[in-house]
C-alpha cells in the first residue's frame, strides 16, 4: 500500500512540474530607429498554438536580432541596428516566473548594424556579427549576465561580383559549431563562409583558419546557417542566389554535398533569409522573402535535401522564423506586413498548416523560444 501511495505522490509531483512548464517566445523588432517597445514576450499554448502577450520592453531602439544564453537566464539583443553609427549588444535578465525582462547593460558591438549575436556554451563569451562594417566582435559576460567591453574585433576586406550588394564584406551571422570549438561567419559581401577556431581558454578566442574558409559560388551571398542535430551536416542559405547549400561536417571542415533552390519560382531577384532544422533532424525549413514562402525539405540519412513543397507565409517579408522546442509549431515573423503567423507542423510528413495570423507586431524581425 505504501508503494502505491509513493507512486501516486510521485506522479502527482511530476504532473505538477509539467503543468508549471511554460514556453516563452521572445520577439525582436525594428522600431524605425526610435525608442519604442522593441522586444515582446509571448507565452505559447502547446495545445493550440495560441500566443498570449505577457510583456514588452520600453525605450529600446531596433532590437532586430535576439539570442538566449545557454542556461536560459539572459537575453541578448542587437540594438541600435541599421543606423549610421556603431550598434550595441544589450543584455536582459529573464524572469522565468512571469516572462518579464529587466535591462542589465549594453556594450558596443564595434561595428555598424550588428545583425547576429551568439553566446558560447560556457556562458562567458558573446559574439556579434556586424553587417555594416563587415567585422566580428567578441565580448565577455559576467555571471549576472552583464556584458564587458569587447576583447577582440576583426575586420575583413574583399568584394565579389555584385558591385551594388557586394562592394565590401557583410558578415550576416555568427554560428558556433555543435561543440562550440569553431565559429562560422557567412559573409554576403565576399561570398565566403569565414572559419575560425574558437579557443575558450584564450583572452582573444578567435583564431582564423584560412584553409577551412569556404569560397561559395560567386553572387550567392551566404546569410544564415543551421547544423544538423547529428553534427554530421551543416546547411547555409544564400540570400542572393536563393539556394540552400548542404555540407558534410567533420572536425571543423565543411565539404559541399549539394546546392538546391529554396524559392518556388525562378526570379530576377531572390532574397532568401532564414533556415532551421526540426528537432528530430528529419526536415529542413527556409524562408524566402519577395515571394513570401517557407520551403520544406526532407533530409536523407546522407544529408541530401529533397523538396517537399512551399507554404505561403500569409504576410510580407518573412525575415525570420523558428520552430518551438517541441517541433510541433513553426512560427513566422513577417516584417513588412507586421504580423506573426503560427503553423502546426506535421511531424511525420514535415508539412505545415496555418493556425493563426492575427498576432500583430510592428516590424517583427526575430523569434526565439525557451521552455521554463
pLDDT score at 16: 39
pLDDT score at 118: 98
* Chain segment 325-365, per-residue pLDDT in tens: 999 999 999 999 999 999 999 999 999 999 998 899 999 99
Three-state SS string over the chain comes to: CHHHHHHHHHHHHHHHHHHHCCEEEEEEECCCCCCECCCEEEEECCCCCCEEEEEECCCECCCCEEEECCCCCEEEEEECCCCCCEEEEEEEEECCCCCCEEEEEEEEEEEECEEEEEECCCCCEEEEEECCCCEEEEEEECCCCCECCCCEEEECCCCCCCCCCCCCCCECCCEECCCCCEEEEEECCCCEEEEEEECCCCCCCEEECHHHCEECCCCCCEEEEEECCCCCEEEEEECCCCEEEEEEEECCEEEEEEEEECCCCCCCCCEEEEEEECCCCCEEEEEEECCCEEEEEEECCCCCEEEEEEEECCCCCEEEEEECCCCCEEEEEECCCCEEEEEEECCCCCCEEEEEEEEECCCEEEEEEEEC
Domain ranges of the chain: 23-130
Residue 335 CA to residue 201 CA, distance in Å, equals 39
CB 182 within 8 A of CB 198: yes
pLDDT score at 9: 44
* Chain segment 256-293, per-residue pLDDT in tens: 999 999 999 999 999 999 999 999 999 999 999 999 99
Positive or negative, the CA dihedral 197, 170, 245, 305 is positive
pLDDT score at 274: 98
> Which residues of the chain register pLDDT less than 70?
1-20
Q: Which residues contact 176 (CB under 8 A, 6 or more apart)?
A: 118, 120, 121, 127, 182, 183, 184, 198
Length of the chain: 372
pLDDT score at 21: 87
CB 135 within 8 A of CB 109: no
pLDDT score at 20: 58
Angle at 237 between CA 67 and CA 130, to 5 degrees: 50
For the full predicted model, state whether its pTM sits above 0.75.
Answer: yes
Three cell numbers, residue 148: 564587458
Three cell numbers, residue 306: 529533397
Amino acid at each position: 500500500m505504501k508503494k502505491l501511495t509513493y507512486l501516486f505522490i510521485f506522479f502527482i509531483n511530476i504532473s505538477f512540474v509539467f503543468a508549471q512548464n511554460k514556453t516563452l517566445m521572445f520577439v525582436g523588432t525594428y522600431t524605425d530607429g526610435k525608442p519604442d517597445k522593441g522586444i515582446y514576450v509571448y507565452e505559447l499554448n502547446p495545445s493550440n498554438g495560441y500566443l498570449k502577450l505577457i510583456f514588452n520592453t520600453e525605450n529600446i531602439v531596433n532590437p532586430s536580432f535576439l539570442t538566449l544564453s545557454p542556461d536560459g537566464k539572459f537575453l541578448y539583443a542587437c540594438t541600435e541596428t541599421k543606423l549610421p553609427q556603431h550598434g550595441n549588444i544589450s543584455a536582459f535578465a529573464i524572469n522565468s516566473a512571469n516572462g518579464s525582462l529587466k535591462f542589465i547593460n549594453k556594450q558596443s558591438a564595434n561595428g555598424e548594424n550588428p545583425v547576429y549575436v551568439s553566446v558560447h556554451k560556457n556562458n562567458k563569451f558573446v559574439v556579434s556579427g556586424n553587417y555594416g562594417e563587415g567585422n566580428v566582435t567578441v565580448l565577455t559576460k559576467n555571471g549576472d549576465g552583464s556584458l564587458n567591453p569587447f576583447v577582440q574585433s576583426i575586420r575583413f576586406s574583399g568584394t565579389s561580383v555584385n558591385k551594388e550588394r557586394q562592394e565590401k564584406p557583410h558578415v550576416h551571422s555568427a554560428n558556433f559549431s555543435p561543440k562550440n570549438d569553431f565559429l562560422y561567419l557567412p559573409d554576403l559581401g565576399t561570398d565566403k563562409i569565414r572559419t575560425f577556431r574558437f579557443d575558450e581558454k584564450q583572452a582573444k578566442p578567435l583564431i582564423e583558419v584560412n584553409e577551412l574558409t569556404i569560397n561559395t559560388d560567386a553572387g550567392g551571398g551566404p546569410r544564415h546557417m543551421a547544423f544538423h542535430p547529428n553534427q554530421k551536416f551543416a546547411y547555409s542559405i544564400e540570400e542572393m542566389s536563393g539556394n540552400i547549400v548542404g555540407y558534410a561536417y567533420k572536425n571543423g571542415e565543411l565539404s559541399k554535398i549539394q546546392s538546391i533552390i529554396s524559392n518556388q519560382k525562378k526570379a530576377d531577384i531572390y532574397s532568401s533569409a532564414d533556415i532551421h532544422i526540426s528537432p528530430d533532424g528529419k526536415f529542413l525549413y527556409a524562408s524566402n522573402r519577395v515571394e513570401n514562402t517557407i520551403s520544406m525539405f526532407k533530409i536523407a540519412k546522407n544529408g541530401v535535401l529533397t523538396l517537399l513543397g512551399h507554404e505561403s507565409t500569409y504576410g510580407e517579408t518573412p525575415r525570420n522564423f523558428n520552430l518551438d522546442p517541441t517541433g510541433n509549431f513553426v512560427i513566422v515573423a513577417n516584417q513588412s506586413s507586421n504580423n506573426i503567423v503560427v503553423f502546426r507542423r506535421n511531424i511525420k510528413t514535415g508539412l505545415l498548416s496555418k493556425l493563426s495570423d492575427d498576432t500583430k507586431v510592428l516590424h517583427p524581425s526575430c523569434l526565439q523560444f525557451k521552455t521554463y
